[in-house]
Chains A and B, each alone.
Chain A
Amino acid sequence: MRTQRTSYRLTAYLFLTPNVAIFVVFIIAPAIYNFFLSLYRTSPFRPPVFVGPENFLYLLQKDDLFWRAVRNILVFVVGDVMLITGLSVLVGVLLNQNVRFRGFFRSAFFYPVLLSPVVVALVWQWILNSQFGVLNAILQGLGLPRQPWLLRADWAMFWAIFVHVWATLGFFAMIVLAGLQAIPAALYEAADIDGAGRWKTFRHVTVPMLMPTLMVVLILGMIRSFEVFDHIYVLTGGGPGTATLLVVHYIYRSAFQLDQFGLAAAASLVLFVVIFTLTVTQYLLGRSRGSI
């Protein structure tokens, strides 16, 4: 009996080993290397020099671009997560209705998720081009003036959030849809018997039962927002100026345009700490409310 249990355990570890090995080699080891890299000043011309916390002090005390990127990412995350959460509930509820061509609508909403972020951003860049874009052509056709959609700071951030939401909404809507379909029908029947209208049913049955799913959407949405790179890099390049320069773009610029790999590593560590803290906080809040 004991031999059999040991054998089962060993088999389980054996099956887990390849995954764990990949995780260690491609996630844990680079993360540890990144930590050590953040303590060095790197150069393409000479060996790295140990500088201790100098990179972190520079980031936090001297670098205006880093703080600009932090401000931008907070604006982006708040806007992106609020829209994603609200719209995914709306879309999930709509896709859960028993209507004709329901399958088509579900595919249509999910389709942008399958597209490469580069393709999505390029297409929207063309749509929003200030000289030749489709959107401005429509505006001109209606007798309205052309707009510098991606050349004004406020519009650029709006469109950055819009494009990201457009590209990822389908993914979160499917999560919400799965959550909706897991709600027992008996609860809706009971609410119906008690004479609850659609809105009351939604408020007192659907929303509480959907809370665990919404926590997942919130946490995942927040992590993905903090880490966004491809869409913004292609759509605005972080511009105009630094209007849409997010932390990951700051890291990319420091590493590949200024050859400051140590500084980039330090910035990525700061980003990791922020995301980790927020995620744990959300998770604990969700647990305390019984949502998870």
Chain B
Amino acid sequence: MLLFLEQVLNGLQLGVMLFLMAAGLTLVLGIMNLVNLAHGSLYMVGAFVAATVAGWSGSFMLGLIVALPVTALVGIAVEFIALRHLYERDHLDQVLATFGLILFFNEAASMIWGPRALFLDGPAWLSGAVEIVPGAPYPAFRLAIIVVGLIVAAGLYLLVTRTRLGMLIRAGASNREMAGALGVDIKLLYTLVFGLGAMLAALAGVMAGPIYAVEVGMGEHILILTFVVIVIGGIGSIRGALVGALLVGLVDTLGRAYLSTVLKLFASPATADGVGASLASMAIYILMAAVLVWRPKGLFPGHG
């Protein structure tokens, strides 16, 4: 039971990180109608910058503080140089161009930082464990990720529903021409949203650093999971991104932890381990297919 609680928390932690990625991606998708495969590259850039600064200064927090604006600037530069020319194009062109950007970012990262993985230690004051219920210690850093993610989710909700910027974002999403005609500086708005998305990706990347390895290609793995989240949640919907992310995080983590055990009730241990492992790695895709059969536009159809 305690182990189960731990796995649920692990699932939440993965879900929260996916949400940080999915929120940025779905904002860019919903508002600018731009498919940005290079979103995963921003996640990677954030992690690498933080690992470098932390390695040099010995402080995780300093790494985080530097990585966020640096990644936002990288994102804004990419938007300014390349993506700006693609808003009017169809999705195919966007996929192709941002695929090119991924190749560039991955290769550039391995040129700058080398092919080997970097290590990023979490802050010392979060290195211990917290007893959530008596007798069930849980790593404080992972717990912190969950808390940060939920705070960001609440902040994004307030930003989008309660502030002037959020109003402009919603206006831009539902009718770009009209918002522009009413005097909203769409170009500036786009750049801001893109920078915000980049910063969220960097936050996810930095927090992933101490848990997973900081290496070239880390962005693509999470990018594809993020796509699954967005497809499940519905394109353009932040609420959908949150629900989808938590769902994917939980299904993936619990599937890996328990599918083999459950299958052992029905099959021989060897078969159960083999089938369980492959089913577990496919579980979220099966979930996605199931959701789509039921609701082809995702759980919370936005303005895709």
Chain B binds chain A: no
